């Protein structure tokens, strides 16, 4: 399939690499061109502009940081460069409001929007083990199966409203963030009684919480390995603000989210915006009177 890919951060590079390995005709674009070098060596064509990554493409994937970047990319390139009937697949995390507005713009332009945010860290992307939450026209999601399969272990169909995919992704991240916050509280409590964090981590992940989220983040917290960054604190804070906005749109109270968001905000205030978002466990430790 003829695919364009715009946005080559850590996640985007890994995802685009999977598409090349699967044999897709891939054109990539990134503002910093050097991030496309390895993909070019693997066989991707590198466009000189976003419009060049859209021209003649059946599908264009964007993996962008926030709503502002997405809106600018759509307004300056995609709306004027995509062919009629082409599918735009934003795979970053965006607000429910932005995706609702974007859906309207694409329909007016004769394009198709399938929102498909992903679940997983960069290592999962490199291994083709992302969860993909797709929402949009059923026939378009079906057409995208050969594109999604190399990147993900499973595609979850979230219905026909693209904003629904964002709601699922945000709710998932909220629950994960709250789990990390709860783990931070548990580690702080046991440390106050001189328990080796590795012992509590074993107890945690050998019993009721023997799941990847607890194993991955429990390991990071017990080792205080916050420099091993899969998802930054600043991105976590950005997403938490999107969660609050989604709750406001739907009149859904999210009390647990407020505690988690405050920890993220505190971590950013303490200069840890670029650390792994599990640094919120350190915020809990400090609040508990521990040195770190």
pLDDT in tens, 160-184: 999 999 999 999 999 999 999 999 9
Residue 230 pLDDT: 86
CATH class for the region spanning 167-287: mainly alpha
**Does residue 292 surpass a pLDDT of 80?**
no
- For residue 289, the tally of other CB atoms under 10 A from its CB is 8
Nearest-angstrom CA–CA distance, 136 and 78 = 18
**12 Cβ neighbours under 8 A, 6+ residues apart:** 5, 30, 63
Residues carrying CATH 1.10.1040.10, the chain: 167-287
> pLDDT of 106-127, one tens digit each?
999 999 999 999 999 899 999 9
| Active site annotation includes 169 | yes
- CATH number listed for the domain at residues 2-160: 3.40.50.720
Between helix 96-109 and helix 162-191 the angle, nearest 10°, is 160
DSSP state for residue 48 in the 8-state scheme: S
> pLDDT of 209-233, one tens digit each?
999 999 999 999 999 999 999 899 9
Token pair 């998932």 is found at: 172
Q: What percent of the chain has pLDDT over 90?
A: 97
List the catalytic residue out of 42, 45, 84, 169.
169
Q: Considering Cα of 10, then 25, then 20, then 113, what sign does the dihedral take? A: positive
**87 Cβ neighbours under 8 A, 6+ residues apart:** 58, 59, 60, 111, 112, 113, 114, 140, 143, 144
Residues carrying CATH 3.40.50.720, the chain: 2-160
Nearest-angstrom CA–CA distance, 142 and 59 = 13
pTM to 2 decimal places: 0.92
């Amino acid at each position: 399939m003829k695919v364009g890919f715009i946005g080559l951060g850590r996640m985007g590079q890994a995802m685009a690499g999977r598409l090349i390995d699967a044999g897709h005709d891939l054109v990539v674009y990134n503002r910093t061109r050097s991030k496309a070098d390895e993909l070019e060596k693997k066989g991707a064509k590198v466009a000189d502009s976003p419009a060049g990554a859209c021209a003649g493409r059946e599908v264009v994937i964007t993996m962008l940081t926030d709503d502002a970047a997405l809106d600018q990319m759509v307004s300056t390139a995609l709306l004027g460069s995509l062919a009629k009937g082409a599918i735009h697949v934003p795979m970053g995390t965006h607000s429910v409001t932005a995706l609702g507005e974007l859906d309207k713009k694409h329909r007016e332009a004769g394009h198709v929007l399938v929102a498909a945010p992903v679940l997983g860290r960069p290592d999962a992307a490199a291994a083709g083990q992302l969860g993909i939450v797709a929402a949009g026209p059923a026939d378009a999601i079906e057409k995208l199966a050969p594109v999604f399969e190399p990147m993900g272990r499973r595609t979850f169909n979230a219905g026909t409203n693209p904003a629904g995919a964002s709601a699922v992704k945000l709710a998932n991240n909220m629950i994960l963030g709250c789990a990390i916050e709860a783990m931070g509280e548990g580690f702080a409590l046991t440390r106050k009684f001189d328990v080796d964090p590795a012992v509590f981590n074993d107890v945690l992940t050998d019993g009721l919480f023997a799941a990847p989220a607890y194993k991955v983040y429990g390991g990071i917290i017990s080792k205080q390995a916050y420099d091993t960054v899969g998802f930054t604190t600043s991105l976590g804070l950005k997403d938490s603000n999107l969660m609050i906005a989604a709750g406001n749109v739907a009149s859904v109270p999210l009390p647990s989210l407020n505690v988690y968001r405050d920890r993220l905000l505190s971590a950013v205030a303490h200069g840890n915006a670029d650390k792994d978002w599990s640094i919120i466990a350190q915020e809990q430790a400090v609040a508990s009177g521990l040195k770190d």
